[in-house]
């Protein structure tokens, strides 16, 4: 599957940013078309490949080889002469699509050396506090004695953090007893404090994977 990124714009400003996933080799078809293999076009390409690729109006050829493009935004009149389409690099598209950017950051993360380390790194009090979690003293003091007398947990603590996302989520994590036998339990609420998730976890990687699932850019 191929990903192609486009900006639809008029003579004044950008209008839409589009990610097309298709088996079709759109870029190869554009490059091999007669109008883009002239000596003039080849000279421009060799002079500055990046500028040629990302500042060229491909509207006419794109709509010819991929007519489904029109159905993506039927409200745009692509017949207007002041409407243009250019290809943009992934890094530029990510500025306009927060969810896609988070997905790519997580993919980059799991492919990194840090992910390998995080897989083996257990969450502890310092990691939570360094990450911005705040100790919930009232809740901790209320439950601490019960956790120690019932389950033998002498260092019980409860922490909370609100993420700084477009749609923030509330994260409550504590090291009380749980059914899975892990060190930590993570409770996730939406921005109106309604439960949307819960998991018993041990490691940084498990925590970060949950953040990716819930479309949050927050990571430990």
Per-residue pLDDT reduced to its tens digit, 79-135: 888 889 998 988 888 898 888 888 888 778 777 777 677 777 899 999 999 999 999
Q: Of the residues 96, 130, 149, which one is the last residue of a structural domain?
A: 96
149-207 pLDDT tens trace: 999 999 999 999 999 988 899 999 999 999 999 999 999 999 999 999 999 999 998 99
Q: Of the residues 49, 67, 96, which one is the last residue of a structural domain?
A: 96
Q: Are residues 60 and 165 in the same domain?
A: no
Q: Are residues 88 and 105 in the same domain?
A: no
CB atoms within 10 A of CB 133: 20
Q: Indicate whether 113 belongs to any domain.
A: yes
Q: Are residues 209 and 113 in the same domain?
A: yes
Q: Are residues 186 and 137 in the same domain?
A: yes
28-52 pLDDT tens trace: 888 888 887 888 877 777 788 777 7
Contacts 24+ apart (CB under 8 A), 32-37: 33/61, 33/65, 35/61, 36/61
Q: Are residues 208 and 107 in the same domain?
A: yes
Q: Are residues 106 and 207 in the same domain?
A: yes
Q: Are residues 90 and 173 in the same domain?
A: no
Q: Are residues 209 and 110 in the same domain?
A: yes
Total structural domains in the chain?
Answer: 2
Within 13 Å, how many C-alpha atoms sit on residue 196's CB side?
A: 18
Q: Are residues 10 and 32 in the same domain?
A: yes
Q: Indicate whether 87 belongs to any domain.
A: yes
pTM equals 0.55
Q: Indicate whether 145 belongs to any domain.
A: yes
Domain that holds residue 156: 100-213
Give the CA distances from residue 49 to residues 9, 31, 58, in Å, rounded to whole numbers and listed in that order.
Answer: 21, 12, 15
Q: Are residues 92 and 104 in the same domain?
A: no
Task: Give me the numbers of helices (H) and strands (E) for the chain, helices first please.
Answer: 11, 8
Q: Are residues 15 and 120 in the same domain?
A: no
Q: Indicate whether 220 belongs to any domain.
A: no
Q: Are residues 129 and 91 in the same domain?
A: no
């Amino acid at each position: 599957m191929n990903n192609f990124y486009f900006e639809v714009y008029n003579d004044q400003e950008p209008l839409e940013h589009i990610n097309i996933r298709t088996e079709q080799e759109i870029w190869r078809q554009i490059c091999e078309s007669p109008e883009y293999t002239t000596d003039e076009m080849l000279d421009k390409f060799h002079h500055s490949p990046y500028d040629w690729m990302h500042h060229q109006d491909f509207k006419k050829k794109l709509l010819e080889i991929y007519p489904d493009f029109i159905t993506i935004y039927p409200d745009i009149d692509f017949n207007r002469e002041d409407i243009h389409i250019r290809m943009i690099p992934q890094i530029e598209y990510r500025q306009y699509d927060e969810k896609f950017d988070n997905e790519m950051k997580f993919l980059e993360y799991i492919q990194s050396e840090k992910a390998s380390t995080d897989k083996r790194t257990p969450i502890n009090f310092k990691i939570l506090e360094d990450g911005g979690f705040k100790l919930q003293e009232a809740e901790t003091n209320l439950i601490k004695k019960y956790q120690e007398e019932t389950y033998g947990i002498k260092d019980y603590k409860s922490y909370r953090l609100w993420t700084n996302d477009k749609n923030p989520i509330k994260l409550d994590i504590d090291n009380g007893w749980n059914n899975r036998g892990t060190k930590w339990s993570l409770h996730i609420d939406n921005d109106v404090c309604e439960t949307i998730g819960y998991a018993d976890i041990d490691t940084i990687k498990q925590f970060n994977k949950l953040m990716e699932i819930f479309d949050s850019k927050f990571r430990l």
